Structure 1
Amino acid sequence: MSRSSESQGLQVALILSAMLIVALGVSTYIYYVAAEKSAKELENQIGVADTAAKSRDSYQAAYEIMKGMVGWSKRSQAEIDADYRPNLARNTEVAEEMAKIEAAYNDDMQKFGSQFTEARNYHALPGYLIGVINSKNESLTAALAQEQRLNAEIAAVQAGEQKKTEIAETAMQNALATVAADKAAHDAEAARLKADSDKFSGMFVAASGEKKKVAEDAAKEKANFEAQIRNLSNINELLVVKGREEELAVINEQPDGKISWVNQQQQVVWIDLGMADGLRRGQTFSVVDREATDLRSAIPKAQIEVTRLIDKHLSEAKILSDEITNPILPADVVFSPAWSAGERIHFALVGNLDYDGDGESDHKLVQNVILSNNGVIDALVPPTGEPSGEITVNTRYIVVGDRPTDKSDESALTNYSSMTELARKYGVEQISVKKLLSSMGYRGEARTVGLGRGASEDDFRPTSAGGVTEKSTAPVGGIFRDRRPPGAKSAF
């Protein structure tokens, strides 16, 4: 009985143990499945959190970069790039969108602030653009003022040209009247001669015996008449030349202006000529003593160049050259054959114009000096080449250079002679190139020799007036022998 009870207890215990084992296995399996699911979910959440952190860092970097673009960041652009730009690439979508924004920003900065050297951003750009607009407005205002000044100068020049044109037209009318009167006299004389010829012809027909005598008398009468015509023509040319010489003498004896004030320390003078006289900066004058009576033959005491127009009849000029023993004084007169108030002086150039004595033509130099002083070149006959322009009644000076030699081209000699003869007929005053440039206040370039290691002994050799180095032929003593620097001595 007792053994049966023990057997049943063992069976029950065995069944319960089996049930516990099964229950434990089931619960273990269920727990494992749940734990594996929880691990996967945790891994997913970690990935989501990492993605969110990357997006957060990328958006933060984009935010800081855009603050720098707007100009609202306290950091410099270098600091922003160092701290935030590496995080921008952590989110591809944000990085691509930010690349578009930065491209548009760079286009705007290049378009509107290419010269903006300060920290460039949208906050500072409007101030820069306002400054640029104000600067452009100031430049425009200055340009308009310059235009008004130039218009005033043009009006003054036009007024002078109009006055000169009226004078020329009056002279032309007088010349036409003179020509008409001479033609009328010539026609009357021709009619008289024809009448005399008819008379002589009638007498010849009537008296054939006196044919030879009548023919001789008629030939003599014709010769006398032609001689009278030539004499009248020569007298007319002389009167024209004399009248032109008297006119030029009056013009040349009148100074262009006077010295108002002198500052020898600063090498500056003031003259009583200005904007209303048609004066321009760069105009040069020679200064002549106030006691001089003939400006054409007076020796200039100084040369000046206009540097500033102060008022209608006042300008400042710098002293180009003067003499300490004969300084410029107030009331000294200024003169230039290439300038006259309210008009432009006309010139003709002929021959080889050698100013500096080097044997080369200085035609270009003379032309440039005349044109820079508001002069006009009517005619030009260079040493070689074809002549251009022509002398007119308005031509005041002919600058005469060296005559072409016999070895020159025949056309050069012909052109030279034709031009000088035409100038003589028109009564144009002849002037040498040196006298012209000296009277205009032109100062030639001076030769300078540099000192120091780059200097050469050839730069200091004496030369004669002909430019040839002079050498002594007498014996030279030992004291004057060539010197050489001592050779380097060895230290051993």
Structure 2
Amino acid sequence: MASKPTALHFSLIFFVMATLILGVLLYVTFDEGTKLRAEVDQKTKQAGDEKAQARQYLDSITDLKDRIGYSKIAKVGAADDTGIDSVIGSMNDDIKKLGGPEARGNSYAETLRAMKTKSDNLNSENIHLKQKTAELEDKFLKALTKHYTEIVSEHDKAQQKAEKERSTAVKDKDREIEVRDNENKKLQVTTNNLQGELKKSQDDHEDLKKKSDKEKTQLESINDYLTDAVRKRERITYDRPDGLVRFVDNDSGLVWINIGRADKLTTRTLFSVYRQTHRGVGRPSAPANTGDNNEATDNADDRFSPGLEEIKGSIEVTRVIGAHLSEARILKYDIYDPLQPDDLIYTPLWAPGRPAAFAFVGLIDFDKDGASNRRELHEMIAGIGGKIIHEVLDDGSRVFFTEFPGKSHEYAEEDPKIDLGIKYLVIGRIPDLSDSGTDEEKQAHRQIIAHHKAMISEARKTAVRRINLSDFLAHIGYVPQRRLYVPGLVDRPFNLKSGATSQSTGGTVGERSSSGKVSSLFTRSKRLKKQPVSSGTTSKRFQPGN
């Protein structure tokens, strides 16, 4: 009996069919994979061949770029490229620029062949030109040689003629030289004789000059001595008073003078006041050519220097009131001869409308206290508009003021000398070398003495008036502001005297020795009627041997 299909049968059938289907699929898949692998291998081989061929092409392109000189340009470019950033563009640019209009081709090869053809043609032309140049040079050389040969021939003839003439001239010249030598020998003898006579004449002239200079110096000394003697005796002056005193107030110590703003008067101007019966203002008291102030200052009165007795006082302008009126304070006066109206006033420092100029040499010491008053002198002269042109300083240097008192320089030969523009050459104390303490002082004093001598000579030649410092101070009405006593400075006119008190000012000093008496206030016994007197003996206790 037939049995019915079961699940097992269906499972077996399904398994068999699945196995068959899987086998078919595996077969089909394996067959297609084999074909695909074959195709892949073929494509891989083809790609490798193409890559090798491409690498070969790149190497060929690189070699080509190196060959044509553009190995550094990466881009090859197209055929119509004209930019120089590609190889083909650079080649096109080279063809255009280097080939020129005649040798330019459509390619590098055509251009190079055209350039080669052109170069060959130029070489042929160059060879032809060289041959022609050589022919011309040969012709020119032959013509030049012929020309120079003719010139040399003419020159030789001229040279022979010149040598013949020179020989004749030399013979004539030798004869002239011989004649001249003979004349020179005669002249030399004459010259020697004349030189001897000239030497004798020069010696005689030198002796005469020395004798004349000596006599001239003696005559100048005599003239200076006589001039100073006359000046000392006559004391002539050509100065005129500057004004006069109009009113006097002795209680307030003020005076009023007849010069003022219209005369360009300035305050602080000093004037000396003269008596109405004077014999001339500005008269000197002593000769000033030596700068010796002894005669003008030794034993001087406390008021004025000798020879200046006509000066009765001095004033200083304190206020300019009007055109011809000014107020001044009295600096010095004589109680026995007081200032009064119509007394004349004078100062060498001031002149109406123009500044006065001076030259100074020597040490400047107003009150003989050993200290220099040069700064005070500058302030006094500059304060009223005056000026100093030439000055010898304390260190011995001579200076020239271009703008007083601020600008000056050491005197040089090209600077102006003392001339008529200088009103006075004021001579201070000329030091003595024996008074010099140090080598520096001695050197400075030597220079002062030398400058003093030179400036005296300059002033004498230009007739500039010379005046010593004491006269100058008296004429300007200078009054010392203080009187300082310096112990040991014996040349002061007001030294204190040692000794007992005198009975009057300037009187004789009495005996200062002790009488030996002791006051009774200091005795042991107040009952003693007589003061003890020293016997002058010394106690034996203090004798030698005790």
For Structure 1 versus Structure 2, the TM-score category normalised by the shorter chain is 0.3 to 0.5
Higher helix share: 1
- State the TM-score, normalized to the length of structure 1: 0.45
> Normalized against structure 2, the TM-score is what?
0.41
